[in-house]
Structure 1
Amino acid sequence: MNQRVKGKNIIITGASGGIGEQMALKVAENGGNVALIARRLHLLENLKQTIEADYQTTVKIYQLDVAQYDEIPGVFTTIMDDFGEVHGLINNAGFGIFKEAHEAPFSVVKGMFEVNVLGLIACTGELLPHMRRQGFGHIINIASQAGKFATPKSSAYSASKHAVLGYTNSLRMEASRYGVQVTAVNPGPIATDFFSIADESGTYAKNVGKWMLNPHLVAEKVVNSLFTNRREINLPVWMNAGSVIYQLFPSFVEKVGNKLFFKK
């Protein structure tokens, strides 16, 4: 059991499925208490039942669409009342679409930024003053390798994750003065239902299926990093190496990899 996590109170957004669900299970396995946020209440109720049956921890669920900014303060106030203090926040809620820029409906692009960026910022803003006052806490923002390495058919999604990384990097420097740690998580494609929305054609999942990350592994890496001074988690290693090369030699990578990038 991870003693750093045991007894800590952790909020996880987007907890009804995918790595959000797996992170909730992993926190509970390590003795942490969880406040789980998502739009789909029935899935949260199922997850709550599973955690309560398997682990001796506190789990409470809260229905919230993080794009509904007016509702965030009330939900976070309720969480603070329920738990007394909160030690960790994992901003995981998010979605993406894989379409060329001229094909992506503006309403969907707007919704992506509302959830991926503004919802994340709003949730962080509600909890950060509390963490500063208590002089301790850890904020983990789930970004993406797409935020470091833009490719065709992901212009809006990549832009949203670039924004998350910019916000996270600035926040890290500000929060460190108050004992609050901030970590960015940049995974490549994960084998979850994310792609049922992101890629309706199924082409991307088919082409990169053998390279997709296991959601259990990603969740374990994230939870194991809680309350450590970890700047970033980059998965998989080979994809992050590609991101580094892209930052050093962008023109070369764009020219050589152009055809491959369009496979999604």
Structure 2
Amino acid sequence: MVDTLRNKVVVITGASSGIGRSIALESAGRGATVVLMARRKERLEEIAAEARELSGSEVFVLPTDMGKSDEIEASFKKLVSLIDHVDVLVNAAGFGKFDNFFESDMADVTSMFQVNVLGLMYFTRLVGRLMIDQKHGQIINFGSIAGKVPTTKSAAYSASKAAVIQFSNVLRLELKPFNVKVMTVNPGPVYTNFFNIADKTGHYAENVSAFMLDPDDVAWQVVHFFGTDKRELNLPLSLAAAAKLYNLFPSLGDYISLKVASRK
């Protein structure tokens, strides 16, 4: 695996923690030049130092709030001044908040869509045009099993991730003539700080501990599919199977979701 990504440029949003951080380090470990994007500059600089030791390649830090279009555009302009091509874009930035929809704060809902969907789409539009001109590249968008299987207290978050999944499906068709690949990654719950924001009670994380994924394991699988025609990666296998069953038997799926998957 060493140096399999040498001379490749990988851009990662949400790179300051969780899966984004793990993908950045996994890519660097394989020799890639990585570009790290997230809000926290100090945290990005720490990860950049780790990545440089792993790759021996340059690492670029672009502090960006993916919920703000002006920052996204400014970072893209900086990006194209630093590198001459992008091989892989990983859109890992995102967050969620769990609450009954009619008790949720609509400002939180708006922020979720701004980061999870609109920011992702805006940045993908900019980098995608670059890849069209290059006539190669790969875009990897993070959806979620929540975008496939409904659970209570996640209406807005699930809707945002379902939007990412369908956006990616259409994008795949539109970019195919230009040799630009699109893959969607739909993980179940992951051991990250996601739940510090999503579920402050801690109950949901405890209840789904049997399905929890390690971010480093997810990152390894994602990077493993760099450059391939893989359309979708659903993790873990148990929840991937549940998503398929839900489509086949939706009434049964609703019952199981209420009994098992909605214990937030």
Normalised to the residue count of structure 1, the TM-score between the two structures is 0.97
Task: Quote the offset at 1:185 in angstroms.
Answer: 0.2
CA positional deviation for 1:253: 1.6
User: 1:3 Cα shift?
Assistant: 5.8
CA distance in 2, matches of 1:257, 1:39: 34
Contact 1:4–1:226 (CA under 8 A) maintained in structure 2: no
1:134 to 1:256, Cα distance in 2 relative to 1, 3 A: closer
**2:89 aligns to what SS in structure 1?**
strand
Report the counterpart of residue 232 of structure 1 in structure 2: 232
- 1:6 partnered with 2:23: no
Separation of aligned partners in 2, 1:146 and 1:257: 11
Distance 1:28 1:256, change over 3 A: closer
The question of 1:43 aligning with 2:9 is answered: no
Is this contact kept in 2: 1:66–1:115, CA < 8 A? Answer: yes
Q: CA deviation at 1:116?
A: 0.2
| Farther-moved stretch of structure 1 (24-33 vs 45-54) | 45-54
> Runs in 1 of length 4+ with deviation above 6 angstroms?
none
| 2:101 partner SS | coil
Cα deviation, residue 211, structure 1: 2.1
Letter in 2 for 1:242: A
Q: What do you get for the CA RMSD once the two structures are aligned? A: 1.1
SS at 1:16 equivalent: coil
Structure 1 residues 96-115: aligned runs within 5 Å: 96-115=96-115
The answer to whether the Cα contact below 8 Å between 1:29 and 1:55 also exists between their aligned partners in 2 is: yes
Identity of aligned residues (%): 42
Point out where structure 1 has 5 or more consecutive residues left out of the alignment. none
Structure 1 partner of 2:90: 90
- TM-score, with structure 2 as normaliser: 0.97
Matched to 2:209, the amino acid is G
8 Å contact kept, 1:4–1:227: no
Match of 1:76 in 2: 76
Question: Once the 2 structures are TM-superposed, how far is the Cα of residue 104 of structure 1 from its aligned partner?
Answer: 1.2
Letter of the 2:108 counterpart:
V
Q: How far apart are the structure 1 equivalents of 2:94 and 2:232?
A: 18
CA spacing shift, 1:4–1:229, aligned 2, 3 Å: farther
Tell me the distance in 1 between the aligned counterparts of 2:26 and 2:120: 22
What's the counterpart of residue 158 of structure 2? 158
What is the CA–CA distance in structure 2 between the aligned matches of 1:220 and 1:262, rounded to whole Å?
A: 29
CA distance in 2, matches of 1:256, 1:174: 36
Is the partner of 1:102 in helix, strand or coil?
A: helix
Work out whether 1:186 is the aligned partner of 2:186: yes
1:195 correspondence with 2:195 = yes
User: Is the 2:3–2:29 Cα contact (8 Å) retained in structure 1?
Assistant: no
